[in-house]
Amino acid sequence: MQPRSLEWKEKEKLFVVTWQCGRITSFPLVFLRKNCPCATCKDASKEAKQKDPFKLLPSNPKDPDQAIRIDPVGRYAIRISWEDGHATGLYSFDVLKELSHKLDAENAH
Protein backbone atom coordinates (compact mmCIF):
# COMPACT_ATOMS: atom_id res chain seq x y z
CA MET A 1 0.00 0.00 0.00
CA GLN A 2 1.42 3.35 -1.01
CA PRO A 3 1.22 6.18 1.49
CA ARG A 4 -0.33 9.48 0.47
CA SER A 5 2.33 11.47 2.36
CA LEU A 6 5.37 11.04 4.60
CA GLU A 7 6.56 13.60 7.16
CA TRP A 8 9.52 13.54 9.55
CA LYS A 9 8.78 15.63 12.63
CA GLU A 10 12.35 15.91 13.83
CA LYS A 11 11.72 17.87 17.05
CA GLU A 12 8.96 15.49 18.16
CA LYS A 13 11.01 12.41 17.11
CA LEU A 14 8.09 11.16 15.00
CA PHE A 15 7.70 9.83 11.48
CA VAL A 16 4.14 10.42 10.25
CA VAL A 17 2.56 8.39 7.46
CA THR A 18 -0.75 9.35 5.90
CA TRP A 19 -2.13 6.31 4.10
CA GLN A 20 -4.24 6.39 0.93
CA CYS A 21 -7.34 5.57 3.01
CA GLY A 22 -6.77 8.76 5.03
CA ARG A 23 -5.57 6.97 8.17
CA ILE A 24 -2.59 8.63 9.88
CA THR A 25 0.11 6.74 11.76
CA SER A 26 2.58 8.66 13.93
CA PHE A 27 5.57 6.40 14.51
CA PRO A 28 7.84 7.29 17.42
CA LEU A 29 11.39 6.94 16.15
CA VAL A 30 12.25 4.75 19.14
CA PHE A 31 9.52 2.33 17.97
CA LEU A 32 10.92 2.24 14.42
CA ARG A 33 14.45 1.63 15.71
CA LYS A 34 13.22 -1.13 18.02
CA ASN A 35 11.50 -2.74 15.02
CA CYS A 36 14.29 -2.24 12.47
CA PRO A 37 13.73 -4.79 9.67
CA CYS A 38 17.41 -5.37 8.83
CA ALA A 39 19.01 -8.78 9.35
CA THR A 40 21.46 -7.49 11.98
CA CYS A 41 18.71 -6.06 14.18
CA LYS A 42 16.48 -9.11 13.74
CA ASP A 43 19.37 -11.35 14.84
CA ALA A 44 20.09 -9.08 17.83
CA SER A 45 16.42 -9.22 18.80
CA LYS A 46 16.49 -13.02 18.71
CA GLU A 47 19.62 -13.06 20.85
CA ALA A 48 18.06 -10.70 23.37
CA LYS A 49 15.07 -13.02 23.69
CA GLN A 50 17.43 -15.89 24.49
CA LYS A 51 18.97 -13.71 27.23
CA ASP A 52 22.53 -14.93 27.35
CA PRO A 53 23.77 -13.59 30.72
CA PHE A 54 27.40 -13.85 29.62
CA LYS A 55 27.12 -11.72 26.51
CA LEU A 56 28.60 -8.27 26.91
CA LEU A 57 26.76 -5.57 25.06
CA PRO A 58 28.87 -2.83 23.50
CA SER A 59 28.30 0.61 24.90
CA ASN A 60 27.61 3.35 22.42
CA PRO A 61 27.72 6.97 23.58
CA LYS A 62 25.54 8.14 20.69
CA ASP A 63 21.75 8.05 20.84
CA PRO A 64 20.67 4.99 18.82
CA ASP A 65 17.09 6.30 18.56
CA GLN A 66 18.04 9.65 17.02
CA ALA A 67 17.54 9.81 13.26
CA ILE A 68 19.88 12.03 11.28
CA ARG A 69 18.37 11.35 7.83
CA ILE A 70 15.28 9.76 6.39
CA ASP A 71 15.50 9.10 2.66
CA PRO A 72 13.09 7.58 0.15
CA VAL A 73 14.20 4.38 -1.56
CA GLY A 74 12.53 4.21 -4.94
CA ARG A 75 8.76 4.24 -4.63
CA TYR A 76 8.54 1.42 -2.11
CA ALA A 77 10.50 2.21 1.07
CA ILE A 78 12.40 4.61 3.30
CA ARG A 79 15.88 4.29 4.81
CA ILE A 80 16.57 5.82 8.20
CA SER A 81 20.14 6.77 9.06
CA TRP A 82 20.61 6.75 12.82
CA GLU A 83 23.04 8.83 14.85
CA ASP A 84 24.99 5.73 15.91
CA GLY A 85 25.84 4.98 12.25
CA HIS A 86 23.22 2.28 11.61
CA ALA A 87 21.53 2.72 8.22
CA THR A 88 20.93 -0.72 6.73
CA GLY A 89 17.24 -1.17 7.51
CA LEU A 90 14.83 -0.54 4.64
CA TYR A 91 11.33 0.13 5.86
CA SER A 92 9.16 -0.84 2.91
CA PHE A 93 5.68 0.62 2.87
CA ASP A 94 4.33 -2.89 3.48
CA VAL A 95 6.53 -3.19 6.58
CA LEU A 96 5.40 0.25 7.77
CA LYS A 97 1.77 -0.82 7.35
CA GLU A 98 2.42 -3.96 9.42
CA LEU A 99 4.21 -1.87 12.04
CA SER A 100 1.26 0.52 12.17
CA HIS A 101 -0.94 -2.39 13.28
CA LYS A 102 1.67 -3.44 15.86
CA LEU A 103 1.84 0.14 17.18
CA ASP A 104 -1.96 0.26 17.45
CA ALA A 105 -1.95 -2.99 19.41
CA GLU A 106 0.77 -1.73 21.78
CA ASN A 107 -1.10 1.56 22.33
CA ALA A 108 -4.35 -0.30 23.06
CA HIS A 109 -2.83 -1.81 26.21
The pLDDT tens digits of the residues spanning 37-88 come to 998 887 765 555 555 655 555 555 466 788 999 999 999 999 999 998 999 9
Q: Of 57, 67, 93, nearest to 9 (Cα)?
A: 67
The CATH number of the domain holding residue 25 is 3.30.2020.30
- Residue 28, domain extent: 3-47+66-108
Instruction: Count the alpha carbons within 13 Å of 67 in the hemisphere toward its beta carbon.
Output: 25
Cβ-based neighbour number of residue 34 at 10 Å: 13
Assess if residue 58 is contained within a domain: no
Assess if residue 31 is contained within a domain: yes
The pLDDT of residue 96: 97
The pLDDT of residue 1: 76
- The model carries a pTM of 0.82
Number of domains forming the structure of the chain? 1
Q: Which residue has the higher pLDDT, 55 or 11?
A: 11
Q: Is the predicted pLDDT of residue 105 greater than 80, yes or no?
A: yes
Assess if residue 53 is contained within a domain: no
- DSSP output for 67-94: EEEEEEETTTEEEEEETTS----EEEHH
The pLDDT of residue 98: 96
